[in-house]
Structure 1
Amino acid sequence: MRTFRVLRPALLLAVSGAFLMTSCKKENDVTPAQSSNPSSTTSAVATTSEVNNWILENMKVYYYWNDKIPANPDKAQTPGTFFESLLYKYNVTSNPTGDRFSWIQESADELKAGLSGESKTTGMEFKLYLRTSGSQDVIGQVLYVLPGSPAAQAGMKRGNIFYKVNNTALTTTNYSDLLYGAGDTKTYTLAKIDNTGLVNTDETKSITSVVFQENPVYMDSVYTIGAKKIGYLVYNQFVPGPNGSSVATYDQQLDAIFGKFKSKGVNELVLDFRYNPGGYVSSATLIGSLIAKNVATKSVFVRKEWNALITPELQKQYGADFFYDYLQQKANNIGANLNQVYVLTTGSTASASELVINGLKPYMNQQVYTIGQTTYGKNVGSITISDNTKRIKWGMQPIVSKSFNKDNQSDYSTGFKPKVEFSEGLSLKPLGDITEKYLAEAIYQITGTRTARRAATEDKVLPSVGSSVERKAGGSNMFYSLPRPLPMPAN
């Protein structure tokens, strides 16, 4: 699999990753335009020229910045390079509102699978740091491990630190190849933290990647502290259900969890979105529907703005409601009992996660607080574009819209800054442990009682190199899937 996308500045040392958002049913993929050669057959292999014509045709219609596409792009380039040449590229100084998120992939099937949480993986997500400030040495720290995954079977746990892969020390120049390069089986050599700092060991874990379906509903719990009933949810990707399934299994789990919260009298809520890079808007809207106060018929959660060319065609085909995602009136909604909502965040908290924060604010009297680090800053959404004749194997995920909440707010392109700011550090406790740094801070903000020290001296803040979370399909993207193919405007 090869993926092309514009990289955020913090990830210039890493290989490329991908991400998305959605508003309707996920089972129907968007296939707006066919191959530009109407006489072609499904058995023929599309030429580079045909692929590039297909890319350009769709981008001119659906791309949010379609008026910025170069007038005469070079169609002799390879499809990935050609696609990138069309983008209205982000630049922190000269174009801070430009495109950081559109991407293309050689396999549309792999792209779609990734958006549903299925990918070839070890089952562990990790963050990469420079071993010391100014060093070229890199270490990886395990953020979480999926139950039943190869990493879990190998004994990897949250907080494990590795400094070698396949017996080669990680550095700023080789970590991408070692971690993401060829070969499904990799051996990780571990380090540990003791009183003197980070110490190398000879302990190794050999893990073989497999195609694995991640359940994004990682864990939930209820804590009773005095008069406070605190609901806690760790949710790692906005995915309605498993890849290829017509049943929204994961959405159903979310609904059931909030039913439990309601039956137990939860009056404070902590959403742990630290490792949630985004996903389907439909799932984000579901979470909003289970939390928001005073949900009525057609209570607006998200308003989507598309480009001027396609907007009238969309309104003609779908009606005015197409541009809105409305909250649902859910029996398990707990909004009436909530005082505030706390969201645990990192720089990997993106897209649909940010959509929930922004969308809930008007319904919670602005009482939605973030704790941790500034979020990624993605207020735009994308769709999956593929060729349903299957001649063109590529799949695109271009940005097609900008998102606003009920109060017409969309001012988080630089991320949501936290009410209380800190990083996780290297000493990680299990998720759900009330002494774990992030959860402990949320509990303190809610109750005034500390269950752990505000800052541990052993938790040195090291320069971050990147994170596997940012490579997940859905990471730092929001995506839409639509009930039927989008229209192509008349010339």
Structure 2
Amino acid sequence: MNKYPKFLLLFIAIGLFLTNCSNDDDIVPVVEPEQEEPKTAEDYPVQDFMWQTLNFWYFWQENVPNLSDSKFDSLEDSEYIDFLASENDPAEFFNNKLRFSEDRFTFFSDDYVELTQSLAGISKSNGMEFGLVRYGDGNDVFAYVRYIAANSDAATKDIKRGDIFIGVNGEKLFSDRNNLENNNFDLLFGPNSDSYTLNMADIVDDEITPNNQEVNLTKISNFAENPILLDTILNIGSSKVGYLMYNQFLNEYDEELNDVFGRFRDGGVTDLVLDMRYNPGGSVNSARLLSSMVHSTDTTNLFIKQRWNARIQSLLNENQLVDTFADFTDAGTPVNTLSLSKVYVLATNSSASASELVINGLAPYVDVIHIGETTTGKNEFSLTFVDDPDNPNGPWVYSSNRENQINPNNSWAIQPLVGRNENADGFFEYTEGLVPDIPLREDLEDLGVLGNPDEPLLARAILEITGSASAKNDFSVKMPIDAFTGSQMFTPLKDNMFLDKDLGIKPIH
């Protein structure tokens, strides 16, 4: 006979079951970690774009081990991905991993819209262009006004060529002589510099001396500066001297430039003074057109020949590698040429790239009388690249009609040096600058008025042309200007020389 009632046995069984369930609650379940998706090049779009573009186009590709064609077995393997991930900041990645050590001029921007607008001369500006000069024994800096652009904010204010300022918003300007990056130029060019107050100075007994005067300036968005600052015909004795102050090579103004030479031609100009003393460069094609306006429209004569890296050189045919003098502008207008065999060029250490290209390109055909200083020494040209690998004009080359094809996850642009131009004599090696035939520096105490026959550099050219220099006969320099940089070097365009012609290199993908 069973000793325990059935209901009691059932009660004990239920209790044991609940006890076991309670013990199970104390057991921590093992959770398998989620597998992280492996990284790909798409996780580093800027670095990937930079590497691929430079590997294909960079003039010094063969000189940079990290850009070697044999550096990576595949752009999908882990070694390449780890390389892209080695720098979080694309700027540091570019400078530390990809830049050739002797490359002084390649640059980049995290905003391709801003960069491409600058190639058309559009920027945020108050219209005051100036040079920066150190003075005294320390790191003090003063700025002198080179010129004021027309239709700008500065053109409405009490400030002119030759004026000097030593501070901004009450803070003195400085630049470390041993470390150019250590300065306070953000007061002039930084993100909070749309409006500022200049603290002016005078020259007193050959010293830069504050004068307690102030000038308030405001930058205008999307300001378009016409690079043709001044053109005039000077009647000097029996000579008709054309004078052109040209401050940047911008193809948007090629038609206006051609009109200037039409006026020179119709006005009977016999001699030309081409003033590019502050011209940092720009469009190669505009340089070609200007040279044609000076000398010849004979399209059988070579103006320049391009040198690329070995890969690009092999992809282009002979016709694609050369540029002759031009007989028509890109708009189809006949080029107005003066057919000169001699030209007088005013150039300084602020004259660079396309300015130097004009001097070098004309040299085999024209007696170029260079008055001023040794130029910058920038003989390389560049292209603008964005993340558009399928552009039929060339992989990654920027085209304004393909902005909807640019990778929306990458707004960066790079402006690398991709080649050098040599003239018809094969000469291209002027990295130390082009040396003047007639050395003459600007004088802080006598800058003169641009276009006036007594302005020292122009007067020296007139002396060379006519044998007399009107009222100006003393070319001694009391306070020679030694500018270490200028306001144009803080724009996106800087001293860039960019190629603006279709190449037709097929995408590699």
Q: CA-to-partner distance for each residue in 1:216-265, whole Å, 9 max, x for gaps?
A: 11110111112211111011110011xxxxxxxx1111111111111111
SS of alignment partner, residue 386 of structure 1: coil
2:30 maps to 1:50: no
The corresponding residue for 1:324 is 322
Q: Which of 453, 476, 483 in structure 1 is aligned with 2:495? A: 476
CA displacement at 1:335 relative to structure 2: 4.1
Q: Which structure 1 segments of 5+ residues have no match?
A: 1-35, 39-45, 91-97, 242-249
CA displacement at 1:446 relative to structure 2: 1.0
Over 3 Å counting, the alpha-carbon distance change for 1:447 and 1:474 in structure 2 is: farther
What code does the residue aligned with 1:69 have?
V
- The alignment-based identity, stated in percent, is 36
CA displacement at 1:171 relative to structure 2: 1.8
The corresponding residue for 1:61 is 56
CA displacement at 1:84 relative to structure 2: 1.5
2:468 maps to 1:455: no
SS of alignment partner, residue 344 of structure 1: strand
CA distance in 1 between counterparts of 2:104 and 2:206 reads: 41
Q: Which of 178, 183, 195 in structure 2 is aligned with 1:185? A: 195
SS of alignment partner, residue 54 of structure 1: helix
The corresponding residue for 2:439 is 421
TM-score by length of 2: 0.78
Q: Alignment length, in residue pairs?
A: 422
Q: CA-to-partner distance for each residue in 1:141-184, whole Å, 9 max, x for gaps?
A: 01011111111122221111001101111122543232222321
CA displacement at 1:76 relative to structure 2: 2.2
Q: Which of 88, 100, 104 in structure 2 is aligned with 1:100? A: 104
SS of alignment partner, residue 59 of structure 1: helix
CA distance in 2 between counterparts of 1:393 and 1:88 reads: 20
What code does the residue aligned with 1:455 have?
F
The corresponding residue for 1:296 is 298
Q: Which structure 2 segments of 5+ residues have no match?
A: 1-38, 72-82, 177-182, 329-333, 388-405
The corresponding residue for 2:243 is 232
What code does the residue aligned with 1:271 have?
L
Over 3 Å counting, the alpha-carbon distance change for 1:56 and 1:431 in structure 2 is: same
Deviant stretches of 4+, over 6 Å? none
2:82 maps to 1:84: no
Kept in 1: contact 2:380–2:419 (CA 8 A): yes
CA displacement at 1:450 relative to structure 2: 2.1
SS of alignment partner, residue 385 of structure 1: coil
Over 3 Å counting, the alpha-carbon distance change for 1:473 and 1:233 in structure 2 is: farther
The corresponding residue for 1:140 is 143
Kept in 2: contact 1:61–1:489 (CA 8 A): no
CA distance in 1 between counterparts of 2:52 and 2:378 reads: 26
Over 3 Å counting, the alpha-carbon distance change for 1:483 and 1:464 in structure 2 is: closer
What code does the residue aligned with 1:187 have?
T
SS of alignment partner, residue 251 of structure 2: coil
CA distance in 1 between counterparts of 2:98 and 2:243 reads: 40
CA distance in 2 between counterparts of 1:223 and 1:194 reads: 34
SS of alignment partner, residue 272 of structure 2: strand
Q: CA-to-partner distance for each residue in 1:429-455, whole Å, 9 max, x for gaps?
A: 221011111111111111111232433
CA distance in 2 between counterparts of 1:332 and 1:70 reads: 46
Q: Which of 432, 445, 454 in structure 2 is aligned with 1:435? A: 454
Over 3 Å counting, the alpha-carbon distance change for 1:284 and 1:465 in structure 2 is: closer
CA displacement at 1:333 relative to structure 2: 4.1
CA distance in 2 between counterparts of 1:354 and 1:462 reads: 21
Query: Any residues of structure 2 matched to 1:127-206 within 5 Å, and which?
Result: 127-132=131-136, 134-173=137-176, 174-183=183-192, 184-194=194-204, 197-206=207-216
Query: Any residues of structure 2 matched to 1:8-27 within 5 Å, and which?
Result: none
CA distance in 1 between counterparts of 2:148 and 2:350 reads: 16
Kept in 1: contact 2:295–2:338 (CA 8 A): yes
What code does the residue aligned with 1:146 have?
A
SS of alignment partner, residue 356 of structure 1: helix
Q: CA-to-partner distance for each residue in 1:164-222, whole Å, 9 max, x for gaps?
A: 10111112254323222232111001112345643311111111112211111111011
Kept in 2: contact 1:277–1:472 (CA 8 A): no
Query: Any residues of structure 2 matched to 1:228-377 within 5 Å, and which?
Result: 228-241=239-252, 250-293=253-296, 295-313=297-315, 315=316, 319-329=317-327, 333-336=336-339, 338-364=340-366, 367-377=367-377
Q: CA-to-partner distance for each residue in 1:60-79, whole Å, 9 max, x for gaps?
A: 00001111223365642111
The corresponding residue for 2:116 is 112
CA distance in 1 between counterparts of 2:285 and 2:184 reads: 35
Over 3 Å counting, the alpha-carbon distance change for 1:311 and 1:456 in structure 2 is: closer
CA distance in 2 between counterparts of 1:87 and 1:417 reads: 32
What code does the residue aligned with 1:407 have?
D
SS of alignment partner, residue 414 of structure 1: coil
Q: CA-to-partner distance for each residue in 1:6-30, whole Å, 9 max, x for gaps?
A: xxxxxxxxxxxxxxxxxxxxxxxxx
CA displacement at 1:456 relative to structure 2: 4.5
The corresponding residue for 1:122 is 126
CA distance in 2 between counterparts of 1:227 and 1:332 reads: 27
CA displacement at 1:114 relative to structure 2: 0.9
Kept in 1: contact 2:64–2:100 (CA 8 A): no
SS of alignment partner, residue 100 of structure 1: coil
CA distance in 2 between counterparts of 1:346 and 1:159 reads: 17
Q: Which of 221, 225, 234 in structure 2 is aligned with 1:223? A: 234
CA distance in 2 between counterparts of 1:378 and 1:473 reads: 17
The corresponding residue for 1:404 is 422
CA displacement at 1:339 relative to structure 2: 4.5
Q: Indicate the larger mover: 425-434 or 212-221.
A: 425-434
Kept in 2: contact 1:350–1:475 (CA 8 A): no
SS of alignment partner, residue 310 of structure 1: helix
Rg bigger for which structure? 2
TM-score by length of 1: 0.81
